[in-house]
Structure 1
Amino acid sequence: MGNEMSPLQKHRAEYRPELPPWLQGTAVKVEYGDAAIAADGADAHVIRRAFPHTYGQRLAHFLPKTANAPDATVITEHPAVRVGVVFSGRQSPGGHNVVWGLYNAINSHNPSSELIGFLGGTDGLFAQKTLEITEEVFSSYKNQGGYYMLGRTRDQIRTTEQVKAAMTTCQALKLDALVIIGGVTSNTDAAQLAETFAESKCSTKVVGVPVTLNGDLKNQFVETTVGFDTICKVNSQLISNVCTDALSAEKYYYFIRLMGRKASHVALECALQSHPNMVLLGEEVAASKLTISDITKQICDAVQARAEKDKYHGVILIPEGLVESIPELYALLQEIHGLHDKGVFIENISSHLSPWASALFDFLPPFIRKQLLLHPESDDSAQLSQVAQQFSL
């Protein structure tokens, strides 16, 4: 975005989101013990073993101004802090407003506090490419959505070299905290980074903010992720337009692919808001172990049933993660990724597959075979957004 703002952008910039009541007070109630951590049974044991230095930390509740909590601690002193912030993972609506809220929070407590943004995502974090975020710098990004003020990356903070580079940056810039804004993978990295920093006695605190349109990071404390509500409303409006077009033309079937890798939350929420004729959920496909043939039959049966009622149109929603939810396709992708790791050239992968995987691979249309051979993403998952969701009848 250039220096000149459109009338719409100016109007949006004037809106000031309301701060939730639970974040308006200065009283803080602190809980002690492992009860503060949302993990039970075997999971608790696994997490405690993986995060011995950060598991079981005290949980702080911000209390509203009207709360009567005699056992709460009232914070009266707010020393100046230096906080770093980085965008990591896929872009999502609301990223800029998270930075805006962070800037307002640290400056409302102490105007001498500094917010340092890292340019270009985690690559900028490793290379110490920074931008000091001020009111003047941030003025044109309020309520504008996107990640483009700082830029983003899908790289991870996972390898030993990456973790060391992140720690070096935090120590060199004397950061009191590093805020990582991203999805499941990014918050997993944030948790591991916090553990490593605690073990190394690095004074920088690591904070993960769940910002992902997939809506797959939530618990009893986090109702949903930043961006999920926006993406569902926008997509539902578009899907409703397509439904109207299908109803008007009376001769088309629309297959709409939506975001959602491991979770089909976006597809489900959009289906509830827009009422398409059919929605396929990856979780149901995986739980029922449906094959490509099963899914194809379901779609064909629905089309036939509507045709018998003289309805020759419809809208079907498909999450991008459906490919990995189909057992035989998931197994095929695992074999392909294993051959990638062994350095087998793409041109020769088919001949290295097991007999059943080779037969399935040859059954698929050429363009889908090409898409399945794309090199995995940084988290070792398939590039599902590049794979066409089509099934051979």
Structure 2
Amino acid sequence: MTTSTHAYRAAILHSIADPAKVGIEHSYEYFADGVLLVENGRIKALGHAVDLLPGLAAGVPIEHHPDALITPGFIDSHIHFPQTGMIAAYGEQLLDWLNTYTFPTERQFADKAHAADVAGIFLKELLRNGTTTALVFGSVHKVSVEAFFEAAEALNLRMIAGKVMMDRNAPDYLTDTPASGYADSKALIERWHGKGRLLYAVTPRFAPTSSPEQLSLAGELFRQYPGLYMHTHLSESRQEIDWVKALFPERKGYLDVYDHHGLIGPRAVFAHGVHLCDDECQRLAETGSAVAFCPTSNLFLGSGLFDLEKLEGHGVRVGLGTDVGAGTSFSQLQSLNEAYKVMQLQGKKLDPFKSLYLATLGGARALYLDDKLGNFAAGKEADFVILDYRATPLLTYRLQQATSLAEKLFALIMLGDDRCVQETFAAGQSVHKRDP
């Protein structure tokens, strides 16, 4: 087999551990003039240029980016691809917003050609923003997920997705049945789960839109196949929580609905989790479940303030989600910008190195992919992004004033967006390059 090796020289930064567990200073590695060596789509080596360059074999191409920072590709732990066309829809809270904007938009995804067009736009936006892995909601239509996986497979992306299961409390044109939801999901699992870099998530939309029968079948699917994911929503707004109480009076809480139906455990990811009690946090932690922190969505819909310290204090795995279309940007830099403000409003802090962790290695850990993604450990898949320090005049000027790496990283988070993403790589191949 022919060996393909490339070297990338720039400032390089990656997380090596959770700052909450090891302290900020031990949570990352930084190379002011570093080299990332990629071989056959995986990380071969990482180090200082002065150490690695002399040992490179003759003829290995070296790309030098003197005004850039290389980081691992960003990981989005919760996003809806059918909602791309309704991002920034005005003026509703969660349940009204679903009925006014979301459901009519998702109706169009019964048409596979439409789903394929949007999947192309969606993936292009992710890559333009440096996101190389995402946990993705499809629509209720089987063809929407087929179109998404076909587009992701063509780019050799590490993506997780699933067909929405929804058999009640939604328009007739968007509902399936317990039997059809199970059968369609099973067929998609057997075709796509584990194919290349693709993985499947059993995806009941949220408890109010699935009957107990459908939730039970979803739980059966989740347990039936090794390595499968479960992706749903949890405790996003108080109105939603009250609705769940009315629909499931026999259960002791929102999380208990999912727990009762076997929809909890490793690789179960619950989006939002804004209003969780201590017992729910403890149950999530002891089962190895994860929560996706979606700051732009929670602020946009007025759902509340996510308590990162509370969840992590219980040991819950936490990733970062954009939640497009309730979220207002595909950019994880912008999500971290808003996450900092969410913490500030609670009188708490979000260190820039913790932000880096949430968007990369923390996200990989939440998705049980930290053996494959999230940092530049040798042997991991070479998903990475080149961030341009000179992307805008203001960013250029601000970084000239920075006196530390922490200050530079924080300014990049607060001022950065898709314009900062110079190039995005998946499995060592360039999948996005910004126009000059």
- With the length of structure 2 as denominator, give the TM-score of the two structures: 0.23
Greater fraction of residues in strand: 2
Instruction: Flag the structure with larger Rg.
Output: 1
- With the length of structure 1 as denominator, give the TM-score of the two structures: 0.24
